[in-house]
A and B are shown apart, each in its own frame.
Chain A
Amino acid sequence: MRLEGKVRKALEKHPDKNLSYRIKDGVVFLYGQVDSYEEWVEIGLEVGKVKGVEGVVNKITWKGYPEEKVREREERRKRIFEENKDKMIGSYDVVIIGGGVTGTAIARELSRYQLKVALLEKSTDIATGTTKANNGMIHAGIEAPRSTLKRKLNVKGCRMYERWARELNFKYKMVGSVWLITPRTLEKYKRYLPGPMYTFALRYILPYIVVFKALLNGVKGVKVIRGAKIFEVEPYATRDSVAAVYVPWTGIVEPYEVAIALAENAAQNGVEIFTNTEVVGFLNEGGMIRGVVTSRGTFQCRYVVNAAGLYADEIAELAGSPEYTIHPRKGVMVLFHKATGSYVKHCLAEIILPQHPRTKGGGINPTPHGNVVWGPTADEVPDKEDVSVDPEEIQLILTKYSTILSEFPRQKLIRYFAGVRAATFTEDFVIRPAKWVRNLLHVAGIQSPGLASAPAIAEYAIQKLREMGLELREKPNFNPFREATPSLREMKPSEIDEIIQKDPRWGHVVCECELVTEAEIIEAIRRGARTTDAIKRRTRAGMGECQGGRCMIKIAMILSRELGIPLSQVLKEEAPLFNGHVRGEAE
């Protein structure tokens, strides 16, 4: 078999490892043991690159593989499964697993039709995984390789954002991106380009290669700019820029705002959203899933969508159709104070070829609320929930991007954070019916540009569901519009006065840095926020320079009052914000 031969050849690079493989319907299962996690990733990627491979399930272990932890997790799932498999919650046409931007986008798209839909999220809130920690960039679609599904959906999805933002009322700005070409751009190839050839290549050849690549990918309107024009569009860009490529379509959003808006609109149109609901197993019968068993009970279903992000591989395996392994790729970002907003007009990056493996894809981006974000980095990590930041990574980011924006006031750094991308070894979106279970749709491997592609992913997923036999009858009363939460920041004094006369809580500023009032916090709670982090994502309370130092207690007290729970039971995200009482106070 040809595929078999190619896989064998890919593995021959590691002859001493005693690795074995099995191929079933285009999916390669790898077995054996290697020394390091890096090798595990490398081998997976090599096999994933082989043409014709539709998925890599990497069962190889490495030294330090957390066997104990994996077993504990499995036992825990089994225990909850046994407890809850007979506890019926309800019967649904479609059950979506995962409340990130992908799951919520699919939920919202399905809410157009006469269907009973449930969305299950294991966390206390939606948008708490990959969706909450990325740089919010809506890519135009130039970077992805031409033959990939992510290229197709990225180009399409990017153009759908304007409408999404209008209907769903989240902040979106089509700022465009500027890719700088500098003397550093082709430094690695300089020896092949002697003397003036180098500058000529930078100035007149490379930019047009990028424009050509864009055209091949279906992205029009990309322009080359040179000389003073560069600094007209991006005044603080490094003075040694010799040319730049301008991409008008690039946009920026706050990713969690998108997912929250989608979820709210989906709920408005009848989708039932269950948070704190972790999937632990499936009830299968005759090659089909009949029930999704969760920590809350069992959801009977006709179709299941696996949009579980970092956990999509585990969900696929539990459902009986393991077709890929997720290898988490962490990205660290640095966030700056709003006072820096005037330094960056576009999504700004410097083209460096070949790309640095740890910072490829990163850059300097404005955010829709006026901050600036630098990054992300890219690091393979064994732990899906490893959102730790190594101070060295911050330094790496600061050093790298300072070269293109040297006057930027770096001391205005207010936070850094990490997110984890849910990459598969084939490094493309996996959106297809499961091979070995008839009513499961995989929507996995949604890494960058997953956010930009989300609107197109949702459409594509629904088309697949239709092909799988789901009948879609439009709902006559579908309402595509979601009302935004009003915000004091955006009101004129006369409007503020008017709204305070109706509700004095609008006059009580709780977060001074971001100007968030009690009324906005209460509205966020009304819309489903149950934790201080959930309130932060919906209102921005705590996102300013003091990072919640002044307002966190006030917010916790409002939550405590509104939910009728003691202050010590108010959650940050998954755990209580404070967890004790002073001596002599009753628990």
Chain B
Amino acid sequence: MMEVKRDVVVMGGGPSGLAVAVKLAEMGRNVAIVESGDELGGILVQCIHDGFGVKLFSKALSGPEFASHFIEKLRELGADAFVRTHVINMERKEGAWELTAVSPKGVIRLSSKAIVCATGCRERTPFEIRVGGARPAGVYTAGMVQRLVNLYGVLPGKRILIVGGGDVGMIVARHLYLEGAEEVLMVFPEPWFMGLPRNVQQCILDFGIPFRPRTTVKEIIGKDRVKGAVLVKVDEKWQPIKGTEEFYPCDTVIFSIGLVPNASKLEELGAEMDPRTRGPVVNEFFETTLRGVFAVGNLLTPFDYVDDAVETAFIAAEGVSKHLNGEPRREKTVPIRPGPNVRLLIPHHVEWLKGGDLTLFLRPSVEVENAKITIKTGGSVLYHTRRRYVRPSMLEKIVVSRSLVEDKDMGVIVDVE
């Protein structure tokens, strides 16, 4: 059994895990990454389209290019990365954290004073939206199809129905169209696509891929292989409208219906969870309610831009450093709560006594032009900033001074109006 002792262990070798490891190594910390896949880079390995790094590097890189920037840096800094290494247990032992991982070389025990979880997210399954019918071959999630097509050169089928109007679905639709699918149709319950406007233009409109808003799949038909799906129109509340059912023949149904943080392990360990994000509750340095355990990237909530996910990693690296230095925390944390027009918000509270500005990410629940993002306490507005347009499909970032909330023991509310 191999024993490894480090200042920090990072679980997950995707962009956020790589970024936090690089940052910590640059700060002189002794760090190791544990990655369960065959190689570093996480989901970016299969994202051969461009658009990564627009905010961070002012360049539209492909996924592998973006990842390799951090992988090379990590190598230069000499940090360890254990690939094909899967953590099977995590426990606190004598003030430190001990991870037990399996790898083809054997069992590895890693102990460290801090852990950064960067385990990303998983795709929601058709069961989570109660799709009826049978489960023949030909039903997939979008990420799975992306991997299949981009890395292995296999198409899932020829006549394709994509359910969900988010970014992943649009990107997969374009790929399938280019790679030889005979038909592609997108359906989604919202009145318009839920992804970034650039993806709507570049993936759907530019190729004339047909789509049907306010439509969902009610049932999958087929015994051994998908023969088609029953589509149904939905109203504003996404309730199926009776009598609008229609059989759509296809051999493949791809679900691109959202992502859920891979937070089961943290939940099992007793970390507090946020039912809105389905990820862990975190403080301003993205530390979970388990002291010394941080969460970064899509494990917090799925980000629209990898650049933003990476930013959480940079912030967490500072927090790890503070934790390792034993810097003081507040006796009572200051809660940061979402207002009625905010679907989700991170971080959840301010816990440290000192530190730089606060970076908040919020997803509005409404679509508003000339929107005002506010931070309030009691009745008074502490801060506001304007956006030309906010919508649920865009995660907003605001940076505010720590002094603004420091003494608001009752907490603050972030809202959009």
- Footprint of B on A, CB under 8 Å? 339, 385, 387-391, 394, 413-417, 488, 493-494, 496-497, 500-501, 504-509, 512, 515, 517, 545-547, 549-550, 552-553, 557, 567-568, 571-583, 585
Find out whether the CB atom of B153 lies under 8 angstroms from the CB atom of A581. yes
Find out whether the CB atom of B104 lies under 8 angstroms from the CB atom of A500. yes
Find out whether the CB atom of A582 lies under 8 angstroms from the CB atom of B149. yes
Find out whether the CB atom of A394 lies under 8 angstroms from the CB atom of B104. no
For the complex, give the distance between the alpha carbons of A201 and B281 in Å.
50
Find out whether the CB atom of B127 lies under 8 angstroms from the CB atom of A579. no
Which secondary structure dominates where chain B touches chain A?
mixed
Find out whether the CB atom of B137 lies under 8 angstroms from the CB atom of A493. no
Shortest Cβ gap from B91 to chain A (Å): 12
- Footprint of A on B, CB under 8 Å? 1, 36, 84, 86, 88-89, 100, 102-107, 109, 122-123, 125, 127-128, 130-138, 140-141, 143-144, 147-149, 152-158, 178-181, 218-219, 221, 223-225, 251, 264, 267-268
For the complex, give the distance between the alpha carbons of A506 and B107 in Å.
10
Find out whether the CB atom of B104 lies under 8 angstroms from the CB atom of A505. yes
Query: Contacts A546-B123, A550-B122: A581 and B137 contacting too (C-beta < 8 A)?
Result: no
For the complex, give the distance between the alpha carbons of A389 and B141 in Å.
19
16 contacts between A and B (CB under 8 A): A388-B134, A390-B219, A391-B131, A391-B132, A391-B218, A488-B88, A488-B102, A546-B122, A547-B127, A550-B122, A553-B144, A567-B154, A572-B136, A580-B157, A583-B178, A585-B153
Shortest Cβ gap from A583 to chain B (Å): 4
Residues of A within 8 A of B154 (CB): 567-568, 578, 580-582
Find out whether the CB atom of B125 lies under 8 angstroms from the CB atom of A583. no
Given A390-B132, A500-B105, A509-B36, 16 extra CB contacts under 8 A = A389-B133, A415-B125, A493-B89, A497-B107, A501-B106, A509-B86, A546-B122, A547-B125, A552-B140, A571-B137, A575-B138, A576-B137, A578-B157, A579-B251, A580-B154, A580-B155
Find out whether the CB atom of B107 lies under 8 angstroms from the CB atom of A496. yes
Find out whether the CB atom of B122 lies under 8 angstroms from the CB atom of A549. yes
Partner of A580, one of B1, B84, B156: B156
User: Chain A residue with minimal CB distance to B225?
Assistant: A575
For the complex, give the distance between the alpha carbons of A515 and B88 in Å.
8
Residues of B within 8 A of A417 (CB): 135
Find out whether the CB atom of A582 lies under 8 angstroms from the CB atom of B105. no
For the complex, give the distance between the alpha carbons of A509 and B138 in Å.
25
Find out whether the CB atom of A583 lies under 8 angstroms from the CB atom of B225. no
Query: Contacts A415-B127, A580-B158: A545 and B122 contacting too (C-beta < 8 A)?
Result: yes
Find out whether the CB atom of A388 lies under 8 angstroms from the CB atom of B122. no
Partner of B1, one of A494, A567, A583: A494
Find out whether the CB atom of A582 lies under 8 angstroms from the CB atom of B155. yes
Shortest Cβ gap from A567 to chain B (Å): 5
Shortest Cβ gap from A521 to chain B (Å): 14
User: Chain A residue with minimal CB distance to B147?
Assistant: A553
For the complex, give the distance between the alpha carbons of A5 and B125 in Å.
56
Find out whether the CB atom of A507 lies under 8 angstroms from the CB atom of B102. yes
Find out whether the CB atom of B104 lies under 8 angstroms from the CB atom of A573. no
Residues of B within 8 A of A585 (CB): 153
Residues of B within 8 A of A572 (CB): 136-137
Residues of A within 8 A of B149 (CB): 582
Residues of B within 8 A of A389 (CB): 132-134
Find out whether the CB atom of A493 lies under 8 angstroms from the CB atom of B104. no
